[in-house]
Amino acid sequence: MSARYGMVIDLDRCTGCGSCMIACAADNNVPVLPKATARTGLTPLLVRKVSNALEGTARREAFIPIMCMHCEHETPCVTVCPQQAVEVDKATGIVMQMPQRCLGCRYCMTACPYHARYFNWWDPAWPAGMEKSLNPGVAVRMRGVVEKCNMCHARLHSAQEKAAALGKREIDPADYVPACVEACPTAAIRFGNLADKNDPVSQEAHSPNAFRFLARLGTEPKLYYKSSEAWVRALAESASGPVPENKSSEKKLAEVQHG
């Protein structure tokens, strides 16, 4: 049976330490870009800081790790890529990006509502000596192509090789753990097979406090988020979200929080 790998990210537990970001960058050979800015940096996994837009003692903040949501239905980036450099892997549900085929047109970046795709604005480079720490299982991408989280597919590949070496058809789930999941000190990011009803992640995805971002767009993302705070859950949909610059939108936020 084919798997549907997904995650549940517990926002109550996320401290914003950023270990997941560092692990992701290290494991996936993300280059060091000294000239990058917040908007041109390469962060397949990016922890966003959010607040409830109030001040003083009423202020609440949270951290939200954002990465590719691996949309299942009418995946926006898959339908728009002109040369089929992206596809949804039928066996795993992972949205695969092929940097070797990518033309760099960035149409997929326009299409992604989660801003989970990143462009290589520079040639990849590492400080002297750091290239020795590169992960040999992951190809380095060239300048001018788009990349994103691929659920550490190299680790899945290793798990498959290991299973094949042992003569098994299915991988041992413990062998395939993405870097961010492994690195998170509070186990806020949980990884599992959503197609397997017995998988604890699959069960957690249906818990009452679980939500997905922009679910109303209908793309069926496979990354679920969980929070016991109502104001965090309210961030799931844009229409109810706060827009700090504008007073009328703060009124709307108040309605949402207290209504």
Phi, psi of 51 (to 5 degrees): -140, 170
In DSSP terms, which residues pair with 223 in a beta bridge? 7
Binding residues for another protein restricted to 147-206, rule: CB under 8 A: none
User: What three-state secondary structure class fits 193?
Assistant: strand
Of the pair 153, 155, the CB lying nearest another protein is at 153
Burial 36-61 (b: 16+ CB within 10 A, else e): eeeeeebbbbbbeebebbeeeeeeee
- C-alpha closest to that of 52 among 255, 248, 242, 251: 242
124 binds another protein (CB under 8 A): no
Q: Indicate the helix (H) or strand (E) that contains 157.
A: helix 153-165
Name every residue whose Cβ is closer than 8 Å to that of residue 244 and which is 6 or more positions away in sequence.
53, 250
Name the one range near another protein by CB under 8 A: 4-12, 118-126, 129-137, 161-169: 118-126
Name the one range near another protein by CB under 8 A: 17-25, 104-112, 178-186, 203-211: 104-112
Answer for which of 135, 203, 209, 240 binds another protein (CB under 8 A) is: 240
Report yes or no: 156 and 173 within 8 Å, Cβ to Cβ: no
Answer for which of 109, 134, 177, 201 binds another protein (CB under 8 A) is: 109
Q: Whole-number minimum distance, CB 82 to another protein, in Å? A: 4
Long-range contacts of 169-177 (CB under 8 A, 24+ apart): 177/152
96 binds another protein (CB under 8 A): no
Of the pair 36, 177, the CB lying nearest another protein is at 36
214 binds another protein (CB under 8 A): yes
2 binds another protein (CB under 8 A): no
In DSSP terms, which residues pair with 146 in a beta bridge? 119
- 21-50 mask for another protein (x: CB under 8 A)? --------------x-x-xxx------x-x
140 binds another protein (CB under 8 A): no
- What residue ranges bind another protein (CB under 8 A)? 35, 37, 39-41, 48, 50, 64, 66, 74, 76, 78-85, 101-107, 109-115, 117-123, 142-146, 213-219, 234-243, 245-246, 248-249
